[in-house]
C-alpha cells in the first residue's frame, strides 16, 4: 500500500512554507510531552528543502523539544495522578513504570539516552518529573541528548541530501513501513 509517498510530498510542501520553523517548533514541543509523532519527520524534509538552514532547524528542534520536555516534567511533577489515566489509555503506562525503574538506576544517563534514541521521550519527561529528578540535571541531559540527535539528523540530511533524495523517493513506502514496524516494536519492548 503506497501511502508514504503522498505523505512525503505533503510534508515536503509544508517544509517550504514560510511558517515551517514554527510548525517544527510546535511539533518538537508537543512530541516531548504528549504527541506521538517525532519531529524528525518534519526536520529532515526541511533540511532537504533548505540545506543551508540545517543547523538552524536543528537548534529550533532542540530548544523546542527541551521546552516541551520541561512541560512533560511539570506534568509528571505536579499532575502524575491526573495524567496516569491518559497514559494508561494510550498504552504508555507499562513503559512509564519501566522508565521509573531506570531512573532509580541511571538518572541523568536515562534521560540522555532517551533524548537521543527513538524510545518515546515523553515517557522520560513525565517520569523525571514524577520521580522529582533534579530539574537542572534533567534539562542538561535533555539538551545534550536531544541536541545530539537533531544535529546528527540535520547534518546527515544536509550532507547526503541531494544524493539520497532520489533513492528516498523511490523507496519511501518501504522506509515508511519499516519505520512503523520499528516504532511498534519499540513501544512493545519499552
pLDDT in tens, 16-52: 788 989 999 998 999 888 777 788 878 888 888 888 9
Q: Is the pLDDT of residue 60 over 90?
A: yes
Worst-scoring range by mean pLDDT, 66-75, 101-110, 122-131?
Answer: 101-110
DSSP 1: -
Q: C-alpha cell of 11?
A: 510534508
In this prediction, residue 65 carries a pLDDT of: 95
Q: CB of 151 within 8 A of CB of 62?
A: yes
How would residue 82 be classed by pLDDT, with cut points 50, 70 and 90? Answer: confident
Closest CA to 147 of 37, 67, 90, 91: 67
Q: Is the pLDDT of residue 166 over 80?
A: no
User: How buried is 74 (Cβ within 10 angstroms: 0-12 exposed, 13-18 middle, 19+ buried)?
Assistant: middle
Worst-scoring range by mean pLDDT, 59-63, 76-80, 129-133, 182-186?
Answer: 182-186
Q: Is the pLDDT of residue 74 over 90?
A: yes
How would residue 179 be classed by pLDDT, with cut points 50, 70 and 90? Answer: low
Which residue has better confidence, 62 or 96? Answer: 62
Q: What is the largest CA-CA distance in the chain?
A: 49
Q: CB of 123 within 8 A of CB of 95?
A: yes
Q: Provide the b/e sequence for 81-92 (b: ≥16 CB within 10 Å).
A: eebbeebeeeeb
CA distance 22 to 33: 17
DSSP 87: H
Closest CA to 120 of 35, 14, 18, 24: 35
In this prediction, residue 22 carries a pLDDT of: 94
In this prediction, residue 70 carries a pLDDT of: 96
Worst-scoring range by mean pLDDT, 37-51, 100-114, 172-186?
Answer: 172-186
Q: Please state, as a whole number, how many other Cβ atoms lie within 10 Å of the Cβ of residue 189.
A: 9
In this prediction, residue 61 carries a pLDDT of: 96
CA 109 to mean position of chain CA atoms: 17
Residue 80 to residues 88, 93, 159: CA-CA distances in angstroms? 12, 11, 42
Which residue has better confidence, 177 or 151? Answer: 151
Amino acid at each position: 500500500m503506497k501511502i508514504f509517498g503522498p505523505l512525503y510530498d505533503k510534508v515536503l510542501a509544508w517544509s517550504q512554507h514560510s511558517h515551517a520553523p514554527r510548525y517544527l517548533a510546535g511539533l518538537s514541543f508537543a512530541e516531548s510531552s504528549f504527541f506521538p509523532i517525532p519531529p524528525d519527520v518534519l526536520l529532515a524534509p526541511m533540511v532537504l528543502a533548505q540545506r543551508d538552514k540545517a543547523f538552524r532547524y536543528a537548534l529550533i528542534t532542540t530548544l523546542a523539544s527541551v521546552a516541551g520536555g520541561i512541560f512533560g516534567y511539570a506534568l509528571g511533577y505536579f499532575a502524575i495522578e491526573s495524567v496516569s489515566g491518559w497514559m494508561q489509555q494510550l498504552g504508555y503506562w507499562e513503559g512509564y513504570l519501566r522508565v521509573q525503574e531506570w531512573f532509580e538506576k541511571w538518572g541523568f544517563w536515562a534521560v540522555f539516552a532517551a533524548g537521543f534514541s527513538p524510545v518515546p521521550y515523553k515517557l522520560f519527561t513525565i517520569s523525571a518529573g514524577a520521580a522529582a529528578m533534579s530539574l537542572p540535571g534533567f534539562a542538561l541531559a535533555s539538551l545534550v541528548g536531544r541536541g545530539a540527535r537533531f544535529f546528527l539528523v540535520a547534518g546527515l540530511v544536509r550532507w547526503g541530501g541531494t544524493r539520497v533524495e532520489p533513492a528516498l523517493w523511490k523507496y519511501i513506502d518501504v522506509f515508511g513501513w519499516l519505520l512503523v514496524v520499528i516504532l511498534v516494536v519499540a513501544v512493545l519492548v519499552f
